[in-house]
Amino acid sequence: MNLQSIKRQAVPLHAEVAEVVRHQIMSGELASGTKLPALRELSERLGVARMTVVQAMNTLEDEGLIEKHSGRGTFVKEVAIPRRHTLQMKAEMSQLHSMVAQLEVSAFDGETSVDTSDGDIDFRLMRRMHARDGNPFCQVDIRLDNAVFEQAPDRFCKEIVVTVLKEIGVAVASARQKITISYADFELAQALEIKVNSPVFRVFREFFDADGQLIYSAKLIYPGDQLEMEIEFAVDQADKA
């Protein structure tokens, strides 16, 4: 990857590198004690000069977010992570199916593998990109019970998983979804063709069977300027009075 070749904000390159790492630390993505890659590795990975990375690391050190240890490397310091306030709402599964149907996206074949580390259940892992009007719209990381995947492998590889699960009759006993606002790092900005540090919606979705076993989970990331949600509340008679 060459950071200078992808879409960027109108700020110095070292400031952009520092901002990405800052977001990762303050969101908890980079936990306290995490060792950061060496300067040479970072500069090669991003396609920027070593001095650019040095300036970025110096900025983060001055802010108290990282600490350097001679001979050991650079580590994330323990910092106070801003606490998010959770707004909880309940919805029907039919509403999720209706929302997904409105997206009108194309799901392109992507990476797929089988994870056998869970013990009792193997999971099919898929990473792919959804597009809308020919443009990147959502990056998706999927974890699907492999036995379920084998019921319709071609469809699961090319269609929206939530829709396929419904149409082949997979029983879902419970489901949940969490949405947060975050920022695009270098790889995500390149994949979605957006500027580095642009706001993004991160959606984490899980479906479970009657025994509480995970059937499907997905991490979906949408560009912040490509999606909005509108909620229509049903008003009962007591509220109307």
Would you state the pLDDT for residue 239?
58
pLDDT exceeds 70 at position 2: no
Domains in the chain with CATH codes: 3-76 (1.10.10.10), 93-223 (3.40.1410.10)
* Residue 32 pLDDT grade (very low, low, confident, very high; cuts 50, 70, 90): very high
Would you state the pLDDT for residue 107?
66
Within 75-160, residue ranges assigned H as helices are 93-102, 146-149, 153-158
163 contact partners, CB below 8 Å, separation of at least 6 = 97, 100, 101
Half-sphere exposure of 172 (CA within 13 A, CB side): 24
Give the DSSP H/E element, type plus range, for residue 20. Answer: helix 13-26
Q: How many residues does the chain have?
A: 241
pLDDT exceeds 60 at position 7: no
pLDDT in tens, 100-149: 887 766 666 667 889 988 778 899 999 888 888 878 889 999 999 999 99
CA quadruple 23, 28, 29, 34: dihedral sign = positive
Question: In angstroms, what CA-CA distances link 228 with 74, 91, 106, 180?
Answer: 39, 17, 19, 13
pLDDT in tens, 158-197: 888 999 999 999 999 999 999 999 998 888 888 898 888 8
- What's the pTM value of the predicted model, to 2 decimals? 0.80
pLDDT in tens, 75-107: 999 998 888 888 888 888 888 888 888 776 666
DSSP 8-state assignment for residue 36: P
